[in-house]
Amino acid sequence: MISILKKEINSFFASPIGYLVIGVFLVANGLFLWIFKGEYNILENGFADINGFFFLAPWLLLFLIPAVTMKSFSDEKKQGTLEILFTKPISQTQLVLGKYFGALLLGVIAVVPTLIYVFSVYQLGNPAGNLDLGSIFGSYAGLFFLMATYTAIGIFCSTLSENQIVAFILAICLSFILLYGFDLVNNAFFDSSYLWLNYIGFKTHYDNISRGVIDTRDIIYFSSVAFFFLYLTVVKLKKTHQ
């Protein structure tokens, strides 16, 4: 499994696409938070916080993670190397987990540089250090669980087609539905008595963790969804191998 993880990381950074994907994510965040005028601009909102980043990040990761995962199995199927992987002394579960953790690690690598925003806002506070670090820690934890779930969805979608673009679009659509689709349906067709519908989607659970309150129910929710899509991936590979 470790060898598969290393292979995923090496293949991602072996081409300019890997650096481009991470670069676009960081540049887009930087522009919205520091350059473009608007509600997300840290220098204009008058408060020492980076809430704008934690609002934007789930949407940007909605594209970043599928871009990372789209070639996981699609490329293997297209090049005919998937059958070779099946001959290795690893199970389909280990193969899936190796690719999953490799892609998740790449997502973490993309997010780590954003810690400089925390340092910058920490210094800009009046007085310096006037920052709710507990809330920020919770928000980063929420981002991690969101990335973990996005990654599982992306890995699954990469098994559905040999075309990377198709896998990319499928992962974006499915992730968007689970992130915001249930909220949209609830707001459009139901009243407040149907708030339980929001709990099916990602957004409510992400918002809960982002408040700095790490609730086991939210952790179990994200873990269950990620496990479900990883399970579907294993099942799909076993059917392919038959």
| Contact status, residue 137 vs residue 131, Cβ threshold 8 Å | no
Query: Does an H or E element contain 48, and which?
Result: none
What is the pLDDT, as a whole number, of residue 80?
A: 76
Spatial separation of the C-alpha atoms in residues 149 and 202, rounded to whole Å: 9
Spatial separation of the C-alpha atoms in residues 214 and 208, rounded to whole Å: 8
| Contact status, residue 78 vs residue 69, Cβ threshold 8 Å | no
Residue 168 lies in domain: 1-241
What is the pLDDT, as a whole number, of residue 87?
A: 75
Local confidence pLDDT in tens for the 242 residues of the chain: 788 888 888 887 787 777 888 888 889 988 888 788 777 777 776 666 777 888 889 999 999 999 999 888 888 888 877 777 777 778 888 889 999 999 999 999 999 999 988 888 877 766 666 677 778 888 899 999 999 999 999 999 999 988 999 999 999 999 999 988 877 776 666 665 556 666 788 888 888 888 777 788 899 999 999 999 999 999 998 887 66
Q: What is the number of structural domains in the chain? A: 1
- Strand runs labelled E in 89-232: none
Task: Give the rounded distance of the alpha carbon of 1 from its chain centre.
Answer: 21
| Contact status, residue 66 vs residue 156, Cβ threshold 8 Å | no
Task: Pick the closest to residue 58 from 136, 175, 137, 157 (CA basis).
Answer: 175
Contacts of 90 (CB under 8 A, 6+ apart): 1, 4, 98
Rounded to 5°, angle at Cα 162 from 159 and 166: 85
What is the pLDDT, as a whole number, of residue 112?
A: 92
